[in-house]
């Protein structure tokens, strides 16, 4: 892919920002808001600031262009305690498989995310005490993605997500698309004794798709005509709702901390991301990750939404959500074989003003390709 095509892709995605610019006046106007919750431990430990350098299956919820860097097979599972104390958990499974030798045919990704709300007591006007049977809401998202390396510097991908949410008698379903590109280069490539890319740029557009609406027998009610005595079944008209569309623009830079550049023991990566939201205020985030031999990693990040810190806007109706504040995480990754197969354990913490934050634990297996 030449530079003109690269600039064209970046230009098209950047042009979409005007359509998805932050709009706090429309807060609460979108549905399927589970699509903006990142269930992966590594990228959530960076406050979702690593749009430019996210890799593997974690690209599903930030920038699908990073999926192209998968070598061989990657399997990841994570479990998130959402708004700790609320009794809500998120289970997430992702699989990435490179196609062809050295991923020459691109990378295929599959994933499933399921929310568990537990059993919710049914209450009515006549039975407000929860003595009736309970019900279990269902929120499940399935995704399939494809990403490809177009040159030594450019990757791009697309993701299709099937959205399903509701109860036994009321449900909404639909589809959404993600698009993403990443660019990487080195400022001092000629001086490096080892080939490593230092600077990265990432742009992604997420949750682009048609409106959804609820349907089902749960929207029906019994209607009696007092004049004629007719007994009929009528339906409520459910209005459509938008997907929570957004655009991410991120940068990252790797700093080598080794005195001898022929080794690669210590790495410090700084990252930043600007998120344009169609249905809430924009989010500006900064993150940093320290890595020792790519075996032990520490992460921290800070997000600001609409210029407010985490604690000072107590009247903001959205500040229970993990949009801003201090995020943190860590990873322990150990080699399994000499060929490059590795196993990793990840953890992250996300802040919330109400409840006790969000905690995510993940495991992953990277099986080296040929």
State pTM to two decimals. Answer: 0.86
For residue 178, name the pLDDT band (cuts at 50, 70, 90).
very high
198 vs 27, residue with greater confidence: 198
**213 near 240, Cβ under 8 Å?**
yes
DSSP assignments along 3-16, one per residue: HHHHHHHHHHHHHG
Summarize pLDDT for 307-356 with one digit per residue, the tens. Answer: 554 444 444 444 444 556 899 999 999 999 888 899 999 999 999 888 88
Does the CA dihedral 205-289-143-102 come out positive or negative?
Answer: positive
Q: Which one, of 318, 313, 317, 284, lies nearest residue 301 by Cα?
A: 284
**Mean pLDDT, all residues of the chain:** 85
**47 near 360, Cβ under 8 Å?**
no
Burial (Cβ within 10 Å: 0-12, 13-18, ≥19) of residue 329: buried
pLDDT at 131: 80
Over residues 198-210, the mean pLDDT reads 94
DSSP 8-state secondary structure symbol assigned to residue 241: B
Indicate the domain borders of the chain: 3-306+326-367
Domain 3-306+326-367, CATH among 3.20.20.20, 2.10.77.10, 2.40.160.40, 3.30.300.30: 2.40.160.40
pLDDT at 10: 53
How far CA 122 is from CA of 88, 134, 143, 171, 238, in Å, comes to 17, 5, 32, 17, 21
Q: Which one, of 258, 136, 248, 154, lies nearest residue 197 by Cα?
A: 154
First-to-last CA distance in the chain?
25
Rounded distance between C-alpha atoms, residue 275 and residue 281, angstroms: 9
């Amino acid at each position: 892919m030449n530079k003109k095509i690269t600039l064209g892709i970046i230009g098209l995605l950047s042009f979409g920002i005007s359509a998805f610019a932050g709009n706090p006046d429309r807060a609460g106007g979108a549905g399927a808001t589970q699509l903006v919750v990142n269930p992966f431990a590594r990228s959530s430990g960076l406050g979702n600031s690593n749009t430019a350098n996210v890799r593997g299956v974690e690209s599903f919820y930030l920038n699908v262009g990073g999926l192209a860097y998968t070598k061989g097979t990657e399997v990841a599972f994570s479990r998130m305690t959402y708004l700790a104390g609320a009794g809500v958990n998120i289970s997430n499974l992702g699989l990435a498989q490179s196609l062809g030798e050295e991923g020459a045919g691109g990378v295929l990704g599959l994933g499933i995310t399921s929310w568990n709300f537990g059993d919710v007591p049914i209450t009515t006007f006549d039975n407000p005490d929860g003595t009736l049977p309970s019900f279990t809401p269902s929120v499940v998202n399935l995704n399939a993605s494809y990403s490809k390396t177009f040159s030594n510097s450019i990757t791009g991908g697309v993701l299709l997500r099937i959205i399903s949410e509701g109860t036994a008698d009321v449900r909404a379903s639909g589809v959404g698309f993600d698009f993403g590109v990443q660019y990487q280069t080195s400022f001092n490539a000629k001086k490096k004794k080892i080939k490593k890319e230092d600077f990265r740029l990432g742009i992604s557009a997420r949750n682009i798709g048609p409106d959804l609406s609820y349907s089902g027998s749960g929207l029906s009610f019994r209607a009696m005509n007092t004049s004629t005595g007719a007994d009929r079944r009528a339906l409520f008209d459910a209005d459509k709702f938008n997907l929570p569309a957004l655009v991410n623009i991120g940068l990252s830079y790797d700093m080598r901390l080794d005195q001898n550049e022929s080794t690669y023991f210590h790495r410090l990566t700084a990252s930043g991301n600007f998120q344009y939201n169609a249905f809430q205020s924009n989010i500006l985030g900064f993150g940093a990750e320290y890595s020792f031999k790519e075996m032990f990693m520490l992460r921290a990040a800070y997000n600001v939404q609409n210029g407010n810190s985490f604690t000072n806007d107590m009247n903001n109706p959205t500040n229970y959500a993990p949009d801003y504040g201090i995020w943190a995480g860590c990873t322990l990754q150990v080699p399994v074989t000499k060929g490059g197969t590795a196993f990793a354990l990840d953890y992250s913490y996300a802040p919330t003003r109400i409840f006790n934050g969000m905690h995510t634990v993940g495991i992953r297996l990277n099986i080296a390709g040929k």
